Structures are given as structure tokens and as C-alpha cells.
Amino acid sequence: MIRIFTLDEFDPALIKALTKSLYTAFGVGSEHSGAVTVPHGQQEPYDANKLLDAMPKLQALADDKVLFLTSRKLAPRKLVSGEAPTLGLSRYGQQRAVVTTATIKNVADNVKLLARYAMQEVGHTYGLHHCLDPRCAMYPQWTPSYALGEASFCTYCRDSSDAKIRTTKS
Amino acid sequence: MPDMTSLSVGDRLVYPNQGLCSVTEIKTEEIAGQKLTFVSLVIIETGAKVKVPREKLEKNGVRRVSTADDVKKVVDYLKSDSEKASLDWKKRARENTARLSEGGLLGLAEVVKGLQVLSELRPLPPKERELYNDARHLFVEELSAAMGVHQADAEDAFDILLFVPGRDRPKRTAEEFAGLAGEEDELGLEGDLIGIDGGEEPETPESEVEKAEEGESEGEGEDEEAPKKKPAKAAAPPAAAKAPKGKKTLISDVEVTMPATLALTENLPKKRGRPPKPKPAVAEPPPPPKKRGRPPKAK
């Protein structure tokens, strides 16, 4: 099950469309599990790593994935090779991921792009890496062609995610 | 190669093609009268347990996790525009396998970057796509351990060099890889040596295979037309392939003593069945026709 927790207010139709996209992409249940408040001490733009560490423990099964959705900005991460744009972040092979809608213009009309961001972060939690195919949702998000793709995986990533989901089912 | 003799429980090592592992036990055991020191390892990702004699650690390619200096070298390497994978799939597969098992962190980076640059020329075949993913996984895992960061940060750290933010990947042309291709096939023997060294045969597109099969089936029963349909390669096979077993080919003698036309006719396939009878040069007059009926009675 993919559980979506909202950190800010969102249009229910948007959340419904997002859950539908995630269900189609991964073939596992997806639902809006409620709203949570950001822990004290977090300021916009959020540090995505600190935010994921600071979020309270939520009711979820071992193979559930938790996706936090926020409309606030996430600060770019400073890495050894430069600054990485942060549109979302996840813990590889673990449970938690966060996605922001701050960089998407007119989110209500652009659910497809939000679904692609969410698919990538949830895909990372299933152990998928970045893909070489620009049409795939696992392609790096900061490339210009990313926004043009559909909310779907390439054949290789779809097969990989299917295999991971099968093996992690409790 | 860092020293593997000063291992202690809790140390993190890298097992080639398996990933990060940690030392759980170092124990001396007596086996067949010999005292051997065994190192027990646990692969962190899968939880698999491995028990290796200490002397064989280096031989198996087990090494310590890369240092900050290694990470710096890898970042410099990824920033450079030097890597061009070989266009010869056999050579590429051989190199990548060696890099994965012996190349360390830089070897993993070479595999990832090489295949990524190649994918800018043409899509990777499924096996190489799998190899790319495996190499990327091992690379991210070790890089995150070396840098002390989460895997997401480690992957993004090198992906912002491979997929530059705000820019799409460039389209590569075959000319950029041409230098490497020329080195490989200097003698032009690549096609002739297929199968001789015991290697696998090159991948043939299914459509070509089907066409070849169709050609063979059509050729059956049309013995005279069959040789015409064979490709040019069959018309002039290498001398060693033509020679029967146990006999030497005397190509030079044929060339010297035979006229060119005869030498060419020698190569044509023989017709089946009994050879036709030789016709006489001048036709003899036909014998006089016999008279019909009973011969006259003798008087």
C-alpha cells in the first residue's frame, strides 16, 4: 500500500488523481491516509533530509510506502559535485519519501507531472535507480524533457518494480 | 590494495559484484590438520553470510570501502568527457566484467559512464541494461558508504554530472566512437574469427535469421539455382575453411599452374548425379534401316 500524507491543504480531486496514477503505475493500493503537521523547527525551504528524519512515526505496515506531499519548497542539496535541485527525496529501499508541488505551475492542470515526481520517489523506495529512458518516470527530474513524459515507467523499470513488490510483500 | 591483515569485527568491506558487507567474526579453525583463519562476512543488503579464509580475501577481490580521495578521483573522472565505450560488444562485455570485479570504485564509475555514453548513441540491449543497473546499484551503495550520506544523495551527486541540470543529454554519433572501432578491427579479421576462439556468436537480428532460413528452404530442390543465392562470403571463403581435414592447401601452386578461369571453375559446386557421357566430335552416319517382316526362306 502507498499511503499519502499531506503536509498542506490540497484539492481532493488532485489527491484522487494522484492516487489513481500511483495505483496504475505500481499495481498496489494507494490512498490518502490523512494530513500531518510539520515538526517544530522546520522552516521553508525545507531541508528534505531533515524533514524525512524528523517526521513522526506513522501507522503503516512493513511493506507500506509513505509519501509526504507538500506545497512548500525544498532546499537544493549541497553535494560533493555541486548543488542538486530537490523536487522530492526518498530513502532508498525504505519507507519514506517526500514530494513538493512548489515547482509545478498550476498543479490542478498538471497532475501528470506531479504523478511522475511521486512515481520516481516511490520507485526509489522500492529500490529503483535513475533510468536512461527520457520517457520513463525514473529519468532524473531536473532535465528539461522530464516534464514532457507520461506518468508511466519504461519496460525495464516496470518489470523491476513488479519484481521488487512481489518479493517484499508481507 | 589496502592491507587486509588488520581486520577486526565490524569493519566494512566491499565484496565484488555483491556489494557492501561487514565482518561479523574472525576465527581460527583446524581443517584436515591445518590451522586456517576464517573471516565471516554478512552482505548488508541481502543478509547473506559468507565465510572466506583470510588468505583468499584479496584473491577474491574483497577490498575496503573507498576513501574520500577515491571519491574525489571518481568525481574528477565523471566531470571529464573521456569515456567512450567500445563499439565491439565482445570487447565491451569483457572489459566491463573485469572492471566490476577488479576495478574498485573507479571501475564501477567507468562501467556506468561508459554504458551511459553508449546509450546516447543507441539504446542498450537488455543484458547491458541489466549490467548498467547492477553497476549503478553497486556504485551508489559504495559511494554512499564512502561519503557517509544517504543513497539518494550519493546517486544525485554523480547524476548531476552525468545528467546536467537544465540540459538534455547530447546525441552521440558513430564517428565519436570511430577511433576505438578502428583499433579493434585493424586486421579485418573480426568476422572471420567468430567462433574460432570459442566465444559466443554475435547477436543477429531475428529478421535476418528468418530471412536466412527462408532462403535455405527456398533453395531446397533447386540445386542449380542455390549457389547463385549464396552470399558473397560463401563464394570466397577463407582458404583454411575450404581445406579438407588432414590436407594442406597449396594455394600458391593453384595460382601458378592453373589459368585463372580454371581456378575459378574449381570453386564452383559440383552437380549431383552421374556425369553426362562425352559426345563424339564427328557424328557417324546412321546404320541402314532394317527390313520389316519375316526374312526370306533360304533356297
Query: What whole-number distance in Å separates Cα of residue B150 and Cα of residue A90?
Result: 9
The 3-state DSSP class for residue A108 equals helix
Among B119, B132, B163, the residue with its CB nearest the CB of A140 is: B163
CATH 1.10.150.120 holds for B12-64: no
The verdict on B27 touching A (C-beta cutoff 8 Å) is: no
pLDDT tens digits for B240-273? 344 444 444 444 444 444 444 444 445 556 677 8
pLDDT at residue B133 above 90?
A: yes
ipTM above 0.90, yes or no: yes
Among A79, A132, A160, the residue with its CB nearest the CB of B156 is: A79
Chain B, 225-284: which have a CB under 8 Å from a chain A CB? none
Range of the domain at A124: 2-168
The 3-state DSSP class for residue A102 equals coil
Lowest pLDDT segment from A150-164, B146-160, B274-288? B274-288
Lowest pLDDT segment from A77-81, A98-102, B168-172, B175-179? B175-179
φ, ψ of residue A11 to 5 degrees: the values are -65, 125
With the C-alpha atoms ordered A134, A138, A143, A146, is the resulting torsion angle positive or negative?
Answer: positive
Could you name the CATH architecture of B68-178? Up-down Bundle (1.20)
The verdict on A170 touching B (C-beta cutoff 8 Å) is: no
Q: CATH code at A65?
A: 3.40.390.10
The verdict on B156 touching A (C-beta cutoff 8 Å) is: yes
| Domains: count for chain A | 1
> What grid cell was written down for A1?
500500500
- Asked if B157 and A81 come within 8 Å (Cβ–Cβ), the reply is yes
**Contacts B150 to A, Cβ<8 Å:** 49, 91-92
Q: Please choose, from the candidates B142, B76, B133, B68, the residue with its C-alpha nearest in 3D space to the C-alpha of residue B103.
A: B142
Shortest Cα–Cα distance, A13 to chain B (Å): 30
φ, ψ of residue B120 to 5 degrees: the values are -80, -15
The verdict on B116 touching A (C-beta cutoff 8 Å) is: yes
- Which residue of chain A is at minimal alpha-carbon distance from B68? A80
Query: What whole-number distance in Å separates Cα of residue A167 and Cα of residue A160?
Result: 11
Please report which confidence band the pLDDT of residue A88 belongs to, taking 50, 70 and 90 as the band edges: very high
Shortest Cα–Cα distance, A75 to chain B (Å): 13
Instruction: Domain ranges for chain B, please list them.
Output: 12-64, 68-178
pLDDT tens digits for B79-130? 887 667 777 888 888 999 999 888 789 999 999 999 998 998 888 999 999 9
- Asked if A142 and B165 come within 8 Å (Cβ–Cβ), the reply is yes
**Contacts A80 to B, Cβ<8 Å:** 71-72, 75, 147, 157
